[in-house]
Amino acid sequence: MTDDGRLQLVDAHLHLWDLANDWYPAMQDPAAMKAYESLGDVTRMARDFLVPELREEDGAVEIAGVVHVSAVSAPRVHLDEARWLEAVLDQLGVPAVTVGSLEADQSRAEIEADLDAQNQGGRLRGARVLAGIDPASATAADLCAVLAERGLVLDLVAKPAAIPAHLELLGRHPHLAVVLEHAGWPEATDEAGLLQWREAIGALAALPNVSCKVSGLGMATHALDADTLRPWLEGCLDAFGPERCIFGSNFPVEAMYGGFEELVDSVRGVVDRLPEADRRAFWAENARRVYRI
């Protein structure tokens, strides 16, 4: 807590974007938007979200560090985004590191070249492939090997039904730091969907090198109130324990479903029951450790 009583946290999943850059067809192209219909009306997040807009959202907390996750949805523009981000992240005034983008069909040489290009400012701490990667592919094997060799994090994008297919791949890379994005991207939110999700993340949690980013739940629930989020928050903590759970806001995507303060209050309703050391780990220390902030 800060001197004025605000919660201090590290936001391990944040996006900043300027729609003057033509990098976001998911928000800019009506045809491309159709692939994201499950999120709801994506035009509600089609607005510039830069440091001033973030400050308007986060007044109820003190953000002490940031992991910026690449949000581009057009091919081959993640290198442009990485260059653009340097000056933008400087404006935050707090330690800021990045999770970059890679694509689903790259060779090992291409993966290494893209990682080098995205680390020109020394901020790169990991990478993700947003869609389309086959865990049995050569690209997936090369990706895990290169990230492990470089001490970088794999931000894993895998929905519950796809998690079993990743277990064998990740089991071959015990020294790779893996962070499951968005609590495992739950889809169905009925009782059967909750059970499938809990079984999937429980199997992944058996790998000691995997952590869980508690973020993005609004994309499944379309709400950020405490009662809606509680079973998912408790599921993450039950599976991974507070020592392997990492808070991320997923703003401004989550702004489609509620405000930053509502999200934090809902999460606190569960996390505040933990011992103080576990609360500090969840809100900040785990992110600092895993992403070397």
Domain 7-290 fold = TIM Barrel (3.20.20)
Whole-Å CA distances, 262 to 67, 152, 161, 220, 255 = 21, 32, 29, 16, 10
pLDDT tens readout for residues 249-264: 999 999 999 999 999 9
Q: What's the DSSP call for residue 146? A: H
d(CA 20, CA 59): 26
End-to-end CA distance of the chain: 19
Q: What is the pTM of this model?
A: 0.96
Closest CA to 115 of 91, 147, 75, 155: 147
Report which residue type is found at 136. A
Task: Convert the pLDDT of each residue in 52-103 to its tens digit.
Answer: 999 999 888 999 999 999 999 899 999 999 999 999 999 999 999 999 999 9
Per-domain residue ranges for the chain? 7-290
Answer whether residue 3 shows pLDDT above 70: no
